[in-house]
Structure 1
Amino acid sequence: MQHPEYSSTTERVLAWLDETTLHIQFNNPARHNALSVDMWEAVVPLLERAGADDRVRLVVFSGAGDKAFVSGADISQFEDMRAAREAVTRYEAMAETSLTAIQDFPKPTLACISGYCIGGGVNVAIACDIRIASDNSVFSIPAARLGLGYRYSAMKNLVDLIGPGAAKDLFFTARRIDAAEARSLGLVTRIAAVEGLPALLAEYTRAMADNAPITIAAGKAIMAEILKSAPNVDKDRCTALIRACFDSLDYAEGRTAFMQKRKPVFIGR
């Protein structure tokens, strides 16, 4: 049953309440659910409403269609939104705000992944508490192929989840991995056949409906405290390093090559 208070600000994000579960679905199947500006902007107000709604015990993120969870940034907006310095700053701030809202949401969140989970899709998934996937899912972090900067928060989430060794492997190579390897690395918790994914998801929606929400919320908050950064982390240096990536000639080459569907030639400047 859909509830009008969970109407989305864009048709490219669908939201509905099913008993105690709020579903937020990225709805851009023509582009494999690549994240456009309006899609990022729709997430925060939905979570704000869900946080104040006692009916909601779990928020599930998914992708429309059978091809992808999220395949990265919407290429149609890539040139306009990420080419200029001011646009990069705006896009990164917007993505950071949305991902932080997912990570800091006080109730459980789950990424239900089927198909491509690439770039920003991985960021959404690792901002969630739990990740389940169909066995045809494919994962990749292609930042190094594009010359993109990868934010401190996203890198920390990745390292916290799968450890520095596996994180370096995926990040430095930008290689694609299947669902079985993703599970072996801890990137996802459980996998199922495509036709079995709804039943696996139903296990979680039932568990969150049945279990004590105060206990779960306390557990999530305490785990967040355990994972907090050390006080001597140089966040300013991390920000400057990311800024240098977006200001580089390599980023311009990566963006152009991506648009032209060719292999980039990076020069380290």
Structure 2
Amino acid sequence: MKTPGDISIDIADGIATLRLANPARRNAMSTAMWHKLAAFAGEVPTRKDVRVVILRGDGEQMFSAGADISDFATARAGEGQARAYDALVERTCLAIEAISQPTIGLIFGGAMGAGASVSASCDLRVAADDAFFAVPAAKLGLGYDPRGIVRFIRVFGAGATRQVLFTADRLPATRAFALGAVHLIAPANEVEARATALAKQIAGNAPLTIKAAKATISAITTNNADLLAQAEAFYAAADASADYAEGRKAFAEKRPPVFTGS
């Protein structure tokens, strides 16, 4: 069940689909939505019934128009409140990045401002061929959190980040695909099915192997020594798992493996 200015979560066949549901404001993120998204991101790694997360906007018109500016009069009124609000956005993006299962951002329409940060926090991005990314901060006169800019550089590259921030123009999904920031692109009427097929393919693989690989990639791309040590423990656990024994047995028996995440 979803209400305007909320998030909804559906779980089926190992795939959790989270929708940013504020269609009256083009799925802009209210303060309450930031808190709920962060709470979901913190809870979902403990769920054995979730192997992949798809994060998308409600409907097929917009991923997210970013932070809900109607909140700014109270939530971002002064410098102190602005810093606290930016910290909430950053904590939420870090929580998305810390989800142990693979995450897929499904992009219809635009991912703008803080919505672009949410999409950049996902492991993979699947976009409609008419979708776009944009950061219109320079048209509003507000500063953009340097931590978010670091994220954009990591995903889109420094050149595209400069262009988007300096001009406040759109970065088409087709160009983001050429840059490697979007991993799969398709016509709008096909992209949801393509994202679902990708999620199912990932969900059918060994979750402990993927968890170890994701942690290793995250550690290297963020230069996080603590996370690298954790990744090494995950790698060892995968090698000692029942899933590894099942994978070997299934290979010998010439059948698809059935992984349980144990």
Aligned AA for 1:150?
Answer: Y
Question: Of 62, 68, 71, which aligns to 2:65?
Answer: 71
**Matching residue of 1:222:** 216
How many residues of Structure 1 are paired with residues of Structure 2 in the alignment?
225
Alpha carbons 2:53, 2:104 under 8 Å: kept? yes
Task: State the percentage of identical aligned residues.
Answer: 33
TM-superposed CA distance for 1:93, in Å, is 1.6
**Matching residue of 2:202:** 208
Question: Of 91, 109, 112, which aligns to 2:106?
Answer: 112
**CA 1:105/1:186 → structure 2, altered by over 3 Å: closer, same or farther?**
same
Deviates more, 1:200-209 or 1:79-88: 79-88
SS in 2 for 1:227: helix
Alpha carbons 1:125, 1:131 under 8 Å: kept? yes
What do residues 106-133 of structure 1 show as CA deviations (whole Å, max 9, x unaligned)?
1111100101211111100111000011
Alpha carbons 1:8, 1:46 under 8 Å: kept? no
**Matching residue of 2:9:** 15
Aligned AA for 2:119?
Answer: A
Alpha carbons 1:8, 1:42 under 8 Å: kept? no
1:86 matches 2:80: yes
TM-superposed CA distance for 1:45, in Å, is 1.9
**Matching residue of 1:37:** 31
Gaps of 5+ in 2: 226-262
Deviates more, 1:8-17 or 1:31-40: 8-17
SS in 1 for 2:155: helix
TM-superposed CA distance for 1:8, in Å, is 8.0
Aligned 1:157-196 pairs, distance under 5 A: 157-196=151-190
Distance 1:141 1:196 in 2: 26
**Higher RCO, 1 or 2 (CA under 8 Å, sep at least 6)?**
1
**Matching residue of 1:234:** none
Distance 2:2 2:72 in 1: 23
Gaps of 5+ in 1: 1-6, 232-269
Alpha carbons 1:139, 1:176 under 8 Å: kept? yes
**Cα RMSD (Å):** 2.0
Using the size of structure 2 for normalisation, the TM-score is: 0.80
Deviates more, 1:14-23 or 1:74-83: 74-83
Aligned AA for 1:91?
Answer: Y
**Matching residue of 1:143:** 137
